[in-house]
Structure 1
Amino acid sequence: MNIIKDFISYYKPYKRMFFMDMFCALMLSFIDLSFPMIVKYLLNDVYTKDTNVILKYAIIIGIFMFLMYVVRFFCQYYITSWGHIMGARMEADMRLDIFTHLQKLSFSYYDNNSTGKLMSRVVTDLFDISELAHHGPEDVFISILKIVGSFILLLNINVKITLILLFVTLIMLYFSYFYNKRMRYIFKKNRAKIANVNAQIQDSLSGIRVVKSFANENVENIKFSKGNKEFLSTKEKSYYLMGSFFSMNGFFQGMLYLSVVLFGGIFISTGDIKTADLVVYILYINIFLKPIEKLVNFTEQYQKGISGFERFLEIMNTNPDIKDNKDAIDIQNPKGEIQFKNVSFSYDEKNSILNNIDMKVKAGKTVAIVGPSGSGKTTFCNIIPRFYEINKGIVTIDGQNIKNIKLKSLRRNIGIVQQDVYIFGGTIKDNIAYGDSNATEEEVIEAAKKANAHEFIMGLEDGYDTYVGERGVKLSGGQKQRISIARVFLKNPPILILDEATSALDNESERYIQKSLEKLSTNRTTIVIAHRLSTIKNADKIVVLTEEGIKETGTHSELLSKKGVYAKLYNMQFQTA
């Protein structure tokens, strides 16, 4: 019932359309139910009279029926067009809601869920919602009206035959209910399997260059084939169920006709029913059976739609583990002083990443974080914009606990340049303007110049309007990195985080990027995660992080003189060089 309540809530913005749709459905039912009654009236009361009376009544009833079917035309038009539009709008609302909700979920959620499966939830799972939203209430409403209306009229014609029909119908409904539960389970399983297929496609196509470089197309084909066969298996099971379901319902419908023909003949022979009434009775059987058939079809539609909606609700009911506190405020004119007070963090209960970190970064200063792989350098930086929630301790900016700062305000004042740059599909201008959606073209160009990107951009055929391809595939690593730096220049934040921003570049690209980063760091609080220690010699402070916590702090020369962890790491790199 809770699922149905949540589903019904999406009708709220379209109440007028919904009630108009139901009114048109009511008119359709009334017109369809009235036709056999008109036939009965003509057979019993009109066609038994003389020719002039028959002609007069035939013309009057003909005009009345023409007007009825004109009304039916407009009602059918509204149901088919605007009814479907209402369903499509509801589907679009749900898709927007789930996408918006996904934007609120933290990194930890995406660590545990693949992009392909989430795309399946946003796109595939909601395909059948539109049809259910439109046809569901309308089909149920029309069917109930027609079944109840025709049943009452059938009782008026002959009670005995109608009770026999009721008995067969009840068996049919019980059978539908039994199969209904089995179909719901199998349709939900279908959606889970197609989500796996989507995830496999997304994973394989995203890594297509790696696949080809290792000549592993056959490996990917085998992996995909396995998921595809699992989906086919559940799909086949659903079709076996549907085959049994529809064929048995067809059999029961045949039993209804058989009952009318058999018992109708018996009751005509005993004088309990007139031949004309039996003809009308058979016409009503058609009206009685069509809504039952619609309800049977609705059962499949409902199971498909509601199984998708259940999976939709699974995400909508996932609460973001990082959100604004009730009393959260915006940062006002931040200077950028950052302090860690006894901070500990772990991704799970067993493996601790950061332990009792105490550290202060003064406003406008540059602090470098170094250490062996797995020591928690990137995690340290991800805690500052609250991408992950710490287990213990406090992180402050200008003395303000970051948990008491609105997330938008906090992240708006932090710029991040990462090693793995993400470039959106679109133009270079679009990607730079991502740093400030309100920026003018002149401001975008100025940011590109500061990032040493303007020269290479103008060398491209379409300049700033050059389409970069998916994930910036048409650009080199250095070009992508400069565009990401231009983004941050445009954002102009007081706090800057550089997460191994040059480690994946060649020497020439690194020199270009290093100059850009030096410009970007001017008058900003900067935290640098460095792989190449030669790039952080001029940092105001270097912090050596290990699995045990902060091991050493000091300037480059101070740490070398200590001959500790930093000196060891530096000498290893120097000897390699």
Structure 2
Amino acid sequence: MLKRVKLLLSFMKGNRAQYGGAIIAVGLATLSSLLIPLIIRIVIDSVIGDTSMQMPGWILSFFQYIGGKSFLAKNLWIGGIAIVALTILRGMFLFLKGKWSAIASESFARRMREQLFDHLQYLPHDYHVKVQTGDLIQRCTSDVETIRRFLAIQFIEVGRAFFMVGAVLPIMFVLDVRMTIVSMIVVPLIFGFAIVFFLKVKSAFKVSDETEGKLSSILQENLSGVRVVRAFARQAYEIDKFDHINGQFRDLTYRLIRLLAWYWGISDFMCLMQIGTVILLGTYLASQGMISLGTFFLFSSYVGMLLWPVRQMGRILTDLGKALVALGRIQEIFNEPVEDMKIGAHRGSIKGNIEFKNVSFAYDDGKKILKNISFSVQQGQTVAILGPTGSGKSSLVYLLSGLYDYDEGSIEIDGVELRDIDRKWLREHVGIVLQEPFLFSRTVKENIGLAKKDVRETEIVEAARIAAIHDVVLEFDKGYETPVGERGVTLSGGQKQRVALARMLIKHYPILVFDDTLSAVDTETDAAIRKALKKRSNKATTFIISHRITTLSDADIILVLENGKLTQSGTHEKLIRQRGLYKRIWSLQSALEEELDGDGEHERTSGEFITKRKG
């Protein structure tokens, strides 16, 4: 809990003066409200009645100067003016309290959101793979708002409660000890009840908040994959899954509401009984002449002022419990170590000579994905990688770009150990198009130009031409200004891949990685793109992952991975003469192409025969 409080205080830096001003303002507003019953008591007992005035000497001197008691008795409106003035002052102080606390809390929320977003940008790739996106959204929005709301409202109310108790009790004890003790009987009970309620509601809110995070994750996942849901007619299944979690969230929220209802109901009953007891006792004492009528009125007013802030502690502690839970969830993100972008300090030129030496890699479960991989590539060469699903193809190129760190062996780029290269510098020189391209909900032009600051339109068009997407874009109604929709939903799979490819080609990288980038385009477009790439990036070292032999066959080196091991390597001509996976796939794809070509030739021959018969 102490760590959470420290985190809270760290984000309050820069606005502490405003929080202090808000607390002082609420204190002055409280003081203004306390003076009103005192004025009414003096008017009842000392101006209308015969009790001597009990007030500071300088105030008595002032009243004597303007005419004393007789003057005040003839001008009761002065007391009314004083009450109105104090009410106006109280309103002004409350306005300042609201203004300063709102500015401070909004600044706090903005600062926390910005640092959360910044921290998430630099967390390792592995963290984002494992975490639920919807839950992260929940923490960065709803949880931050819970803390902001506590700081804007309840945090300042703590100051009001302390001011009220600290100022009211001395006045009450001076006037009548018996009435004060009776007025205070339920205060410890209410405070203890508020503590018990706080402990219960804190655990209940944590479970509720985590369930809301699951609900957000399901909603985010469903909306992102709505086309898949529709394609497989799984709407009913998704609705049932959502309804199940939604029902859990409703039940947990009902529990919170029941806890609140019990607290407010019991505390209201206790407070009203206390007020009733004070009024009954005060009526009796006033009728017996033991206290004055003004003192009775003052206690009747002060007991409400005293009890309601103490009762409000339940609400304050409730929101504090929610805020602490939200802080804990946010702290979990901040506790995640950011990726060390400067593992090494080397920032020399990168040409593209790469060597893997006995490289092994495993994810957190300990199962090795890559086992003793060794090969070398010279600048400008093209490396093709083939292998079944799960063989480690994508993991290999992820190591090259520093998204994961290898466990054993060595990877050198231009003779420099990859770990010794500044990671940010490395990624600025390795262009990668991932297996599942991601497009932002922006225009085609903005998506392509995203990789380079101050990119020229001619560069965007050139990259689009190489990626064979330029002519397609021109057919759109708005051309390059066409919005692609969230995650590129308005484009086909092949179009998305080519836009992502164009985005990477905006910059001239010395190392290029294509992770099954052209799987959704036809073989003719695939060949055209590879030809344009070779012409444009003849000095770049290129890695191509694909299952098409036609895509791989022109590579200088072909690597075959099976179960994380490098089982074959060489050129296309060499590998088709060796027994192994590459030859089997080549034979299958060649046979399929011949069969398709044969069917096409048969259709052409049949068409010519029918045409001749008709002729």
Instruction: Determine if the TM-score, normalized by the shorter chain, exceeds 0.5.
Output: yes
Question: 2:28 matched to 1:40?
Answer: no
Identity of aligned residues (%): 29
Contact 2:368 2:564 survives alignment (8 Å): no
Q: Give the corresponding residue for 2:345.
A: 329
Q: Give the corresponding residue for 1:507.
A: 523
Question: Match of 1:68, as an amino acid?
Answer: L
Question: 2:7 matched to 1:6?
Answer: yes
Tell me whether 518-527 or 306-315 shows the greater mean CA deviation: 518-527
Question: Match of 2:313, as an amino acid?
Answer: L
Q: Give the corresponding residue for 2:471.
A: 455
| Equivalent residue runs for 1:461-472 within 5 Å | 461-472=477-488
Aligned partner of residue 127 in structure 1, secondary structure? helix
Distance 1:241 1:82 in 2: 32
Q: Give the corresponding residue for 1:108.
A: 126
In structure 2, the CA distance between the partners of 1:114 and 1:509, relative to structure 1 (3 Å rule), is: farther
Aligned partner of residue 526 in structure 1, secondary structure? strand
Aligned partner of residue 297 in structure 2, secondary structure? helix
Distance 2:394 2:255 in 1: 47
Tell me whether 434-443 or 204-213 shows the greater mean CA deviation: 434-443
Offset at 1:187? 0.6
Distance 2:289 2:124 in 1: 77
Offset at 1:270? 5.1
Offset at 1:474? 1.6
Contact 1:478 1:513 survives alignment (8 Å): no
Question: Match of 1:232, as an amino acid?
Answer: R
| Equivalent residue runs for 1:73-222 within 5 Å | 73-222=91-240
Distance 2:384 2:513 in 1: 10
Question: 2:438 matched to 1:437?
Answer: no
Offset at 1:449? 3.0
Aligned partner of residue 16 in structure 1, secondary structure? helix
Question: Match of 1:43, as an amino acid?
Answer: I
Distance 1:51 1:85 in 2: 47
Aligned partner of residue 35 in structure 2, secondary structure? helix
Contact 2:36 2:86 survives alignment (8 Å): no
Contact 1:435 1:490 survives alignment (8 Å): yes
Distance 2:276 2:84 in 1: 33
Question: Match of 1:175, as an amino acid?
Answer: F
Q: Give the corresponding residue for 2:64.
A: none
Mark the runs of 5 or more structure 2 residues left unpaired by the alignment: 51-67, 594-615
Contact 2:42 2:294 survives alignment (8 Å): no
Q: Deviation per CA, 1:138-186, whole angstroms, max 9, x where unpaired? A: 1101111012211221112211222233231101111111111010001
Q: Deviation per CA, 1:92-115, whole angstroms, max 9, x where unpaired? A: 221222222121222221232221
Offset at 1:237? 1.0
| Equivalent residue runs for 1:266-305 within 5 Å | 266-268=284-286, 271-305=289-323
Tell me whether 222-231 or 10-19 shows the greater mean CA deviation: 10-19
Offset at 1:524? 0.4
Distance 1:339 1:267 in 2: 97
RMSD: 2.1
In structure 2, the CA distance between the partners of 1:350 and 1:227, relative to structure 1 (3 Å rule), is: same
Distance 2:308 2:190 in 1: 14
Q: Give the corresponding residue for 2:571.
A: 555
Normalising by structure 2, report the TM-score: 0.89
Contact 1:161 1:259 survives alignment (8 Å): no
Q: Give the corresponding residue for 2:590.
A: 574
Q: Give the corresponding residue for 2:376.
A: 360
Offset at 1:34? 1.5
In structure 2, the CA distance between the partners of 1:165 and 1:396, relative to structure 1 (3 Å rule), is: farther
Offset at 1:520? 5.1
Distance 2:545 2:537 in 1: 13
Residue 250 of structure 1, aligned match among 245, 261, 268: 268
Distance 1:34 1:405 in 2: 70
Q: Deviation per CA, 1:479-536, whole angstroms, max 9, x where unpaired? A: 2222112211212211100111112223344344334443454210111112101212
Aligned partner of residue 374 in structure 2, secondary structure? strand
Q: Give the corresponding residue for 1:489.
A: 505
Distance 1:406 1:414 in 2: 13
Q: Deviation per CA, 1:407-437, whole angstroms, max 9, x where unpaired? A: 2211111111233221110111110111113
In structure 2, the CA distance between the partners of 1:509 and 1:251, relative to structure 1 (3 Å rule), is: farther
Offset at 1:125? 1.9
Aligned partner of residue 422 in structure 1, secondary structure? coil
Distance 1:294 1:519 in 2: 74
Residue 462 of structure 2, aligned match among 404, 426, 446: 446
Question: Match of 1:523, as an amino acid?
Answer: K
Question: Match of 1:316, as an amino acid?
Answer: F
In structure 2, the CA distance between the partners of 1:440 and 1:14, relative to structure 1 (3 Å rule), is: farther
Aligned residues: 575
Aligned partner of residue 266 in structure 2, secondary structure? helix
Question: Match of 2:414, as an amino acid?
Answer: D
- The structure with the largest alpha-carbon Rg is 2
Aligned partner of residue 561 in structure 1, secondary structure? coil
Distance 2:169 2:138 in 1: 44
Contact 2:359 2:406 survives alignment (8 Å): yes
Contact 2:553 2:572 survives alignment (8 Å): yes
Distance 2:6 2:124 in 1: 28
Aligned partner of residue 575 in structure 1, secondary structure? helix
Question: Match of 2:409, as an amino acid?
Answer: G
Offset at 1:362? 1.6
In structure 2, the CA distance between the partners of 1:509 and 1:164, relative to structure 1 (3 Å rule), is: farther
Offset at 1:564? 3.1
Offset at 1:54? 2.2
Distance 1:279 1:262 in 2: 12
Mark the runs of 5 or more structure 1 residues left unpaired by the alignment: none
In structure 2, the CA distance between the partners of 1:519 and 1:248, relative to structure 1 (3 Å rule), is: farther
Residue 54 of structure 1, aligned match among 68, 72, 80: 72
Q: Deviation per CA, 1:323-382, whole angstroms, max 9, x where unpaired? A: 2346x3252221122222221111134421101122222222111111222110011011
Distance 1:175 1:248 in 2: 9
Contact 1:560 1:567 survives alignment (8 Å): yes
Q: Which 4+ residue blocks in structure 1 deviate beyond 6 angstroms?
A: none
